[in-house]
Amino acid sequence: MTENSSDSTSPQDLTSANMATRVRNFLIAIVAIVLSTALFLGLKTETPPGLLSAMADESVPLEVALGNGKPTLMEFYANWCTSCQAMAPDLETLKQQYGEQVNFVMLNVDNSKWLPEILNYRVDGIPHFVFLDNAGNAIAQTMGEQPRTVMEANLVALSDGSPLPYVQSGGATSAFSAPVTPAKPSTTDPRSHSSQVVN
């Protein structure tokens, strides 16, 4: 009888197969460690909506800003707004640089508390920025994603009391529609009660 060559394996073949299995297992372990570390670090970093919420929590309340005699940058934003999220790191840096000279106020358009301001400043896209002078009067508005250099130039001028260089700039926005519209004036005279009765 002849010996079947497929059933016999040489020690060299076993060593090669064993080594290949070890290398494969080692690579799998390295990839698992790298992915686990990336996932852990990814969960530890602050997401842009988290940054917006943190900035809003640290912002100057509107009532304080209108009464402290400093100029104000008021931002209408929402946590879901991708343009707001994109601008958040730059605005945080600008706040660190100019927060002593200028109030940074953030009003979330999803909070119905700010509806009077939303209607007053005609907010129909976000981010929407309103620049207020020392007395709280609106002197300029911009809407949409703004380059940091434009925002910084406006903040420098605002803190100096100079005319803002970029008052009509516009960028990418997230659509927003106020949940209500301003009330229309009544056409009936409130003193004529009997005329409102229908028989």
Beta bridge partners, 76, equal 107, 128
84 tagged catalytic: yes
The residue from 51, 73, 74, 81 that is catalytic is 81
* Residue 59, burial from CB neighbour count under 10 angstroms (0-12, 13-18, 19+): buried
Beta bridge partners, 130, equal 74, 141
Question: Helix, strand, or coil here: 109?
Answer: coil
The Cα 48–Cα 52 span in angstroms is 6
The residue from 55, 84, 102, 118 that is catalytic is 84
Question: Helix, strand, or coil here: 72?
Answer: strand
- CA-nearest of 146, 145, 53, 153 to 102 is 153
φ/ψ of residue 75, rounded to 5: -115, 125
Report, as residue numbers or ranges, the catalytic residues: 81, 84
